[in-house]
Amino acid sequence: MILRHLLGIDIGTSGLKCVLIDEAGRLCASAFREYTPDLPQPAWTEQDPDVWLNATITAAREVIEKSSVNSRSIAGLSFSGQMHSTVFLDRDRRVIRPAMLWLDQRSAPQVAALNHTIGQAQLAEWIGNPVMPGFMLASLLWISENEPEVWSRLAHVLLAKDYVRLRLTGEIATDFSDASSTALLDVQHRSWCDELLRAVTIPIDRLPPLRSSTAVAGYLTREMADAMGLPVGLPVICGAGDQEAQAIGNGIIRSGLLSSTIGTGGQLFTSIDHYRSDPQLRIHTFCHALPDVWHWEAATLTAGASLRWLRDEVLGRRYTYQELADAAQTITPGAEDLYFRPYLAGERTPHMNPNLRGSFSGLTLRHTWKHLVRAVMEGVVLSLYDGLELMRDLGAQVDQVIASGGGTKHPLWLQLQADVFGVPVWTTQTPQAAAFGAALIAGVGTGVYDDVFAACDRCVKWSEEVVVPREEMTQLYREQMKGW
């Protein structure tokens, strides 16, 4: 029997990750392509979508070459993608302006106007989620008011992974999980929200058809197959938003588990088995990549980005992230009453306020750069804890945390999460959880696995080591939160 292989591609904000695994979940090869979003004006964050396409092509070819796997054994490929980011296409499916990314804050006036005219109570009923700058709806409203020439040519809008998949297959589609992040989906009923679209005068035919994450979205064209070193006609599975894909990669498919991801942004993710949204819209309620399953997601916009800002703009890039975390570990917990609020690009959960700003407080002459690093790391995790508290208030029972992203790269990150959350923390033994989850989705879509549960049960393995919360540290951070 020929061993089958699967490709998973994660289109992130700062880079693209590609993994090739076999059907038992063993990693055969991986590749990474770094890129940097464009910042043409204050509060603007953009990207040429073809940067993602080119990274996809070269990374896929690299993993094939590195693994020495016969490409004919590859059953399919799928995607994980940064959520919210919007690609604008004309009638001929050509890009007509740079994509507006999820970090883009220029549409704050449009969001404020929407909240005033429609109101949060109505939004809660229609889509179950707040509208924030950087979401597709907000970006479309900004385009309609500020770039009429683009608006007049606009025929299709796509999310990041869906644009790349279009170029690979020639087919337009999106999945329910990623569509949840547009603020245009009736998340409870998994359909575009006709009432909201009419209210904001956005034609529904500009939105892509909706598919399940594991549906075949198309087949690899000859041009792309030749470029990537893959077979013509290879099934390309729809895929999922990055949070849903990494949840699958981490095995977060049942209640009681919490995924904690610290990357550029930070996210907490827990599955819920029936639709329940927050009436006050302080948290996101999205579709999972599994049928008839939803999830709550709490987001901190600048998590790892806060540490990167400190390293690059304050410390002059003199240290690696490893050196920064080592230095922070020499400072006592609480950083001698130095606080950092990581609101460098506004904040999502629970504030949903694009105008919040980051700050240090409690600075004294005694504090050193090492205290600053410790305060930033603690501030990021404390900000995530805001989201965990809210999930618990809404009824979530969290028994264990599965950590991923940059928050697994140093013992201090893991211990902080255990201490602040007050819950044991595990990591997965498989790297690149979002890309790995995308590969498992490809396996389900091509019949390698019966369903997502079977894929995770076979392939996802948690570390044997667990990071246990220290009660005295948990109490210390609870006291800190009172002054947060």
The domain segmentation of the chain, as residue ranges, is 5-244, 252-427+450-484
The pLDDT, as a whole number, for residue 440 is 98
The reply to whether domains 5-244 and 252-427+450-484 share a CATH topology is yes
Exactly one of 10, 104, 178, 242 is catalytic; which is it?
Answer: 242
Tokens of residue 330, six digits: 């020499």
Helix residue spans in 302-398 (DSSP H): 304-309, 321-329, 369-393
Under DSSP, the state recorded for 460 is: -
Please report the sign of the dihedral spanned by the C-alpha atoms of residue 142, residue 146, residue 151, residue 153.
negative
Q: Could you give the CA distance from residue 419 to residue 401 in angstroms, rounded to a whole number?
A: 12
Phi-psi group of 447: left, alpha or beta (phi > 0 → left; psi -120 to 50 → alpha; rest → beta): left
CATH number, span 252-427+450-484: 3.30.420.40
Distance CA 243, CA 226 (A): 31
- Kindly state the tokens that stand for 184: 């245009």
pLDDT of residue 407: 85
Q: What pLDDT shows up at residue 351?
A: 92
ω before 203 within 30° of 0 (cis)?
Answer: no
In 3D space, the residue among 342, 269, 340 whose CA is nearest the CA of residue 300 turns out to be: 342
* C-alpha angle 92-104-189 in degrees, rounded to nearest 5: 70
Answer yes or no: pTM beyond 0.85. yes
Distance between CA atoms of 212 and 445, rounded to whole angstroms?
Answer: 10
Contacts of 214 (CB under 8 A, 6+ apart): 237, 238, 289, 441, 444, 445, 452
What's the pLDDT score for residue 298? Answer: 95
Burial of 261: CB neighbours in 10 Å, binned 0-12, 13-18, 19+: buried
Distances (CA, A) of 281 to 189, 268, 360, 417: 18, 16, 28, 25
At 355 the pLDDT is 87
Q: From CA 400, how far away is CA 424, in angstroms rounded? A: 5
The two tokens of residue 49 are 């979508």
5-244: what fold?
Nucleotidyltransferase; domain 5 (3.30.420)
Q: Which neighbouring-strand residues pair with 296?
A: 270, 285
Indicate the DSSP class of residue 344: B
337 is catalytic: no
Per-residue model confidence as pLDDT tens for the chain (484 residues): 678 999 999 999 989 999 999 999 999 999 999 999 999 999 999 999 999 999 999 999 999 999 999 999 999 999 999 999 999 999 999 999 999 999 899 999 999 999 999 998 999 999 999 999 999 999 999 999 999 999 999 999 999 999 999 999 999 999 999 999 999 999 999 999 999 999 999 999 999 999 999 999 999 999 999 999 999 999 999 999 999 999 999 999 988 999 998 988 899 999 998 999 999 999 999 999 999 999 999 999 999 999 999 999 999 999 999 999 999 999 999 999 999 999 998 898 999 888 899 999 999 999 999 999 999 999 999 999 999 999 999 999 999 999 988 888 899 999 999 999 999 999 988 778 899 999 999 999 999 999 999 999 999 999 889 999 999 999 999 998 887 6
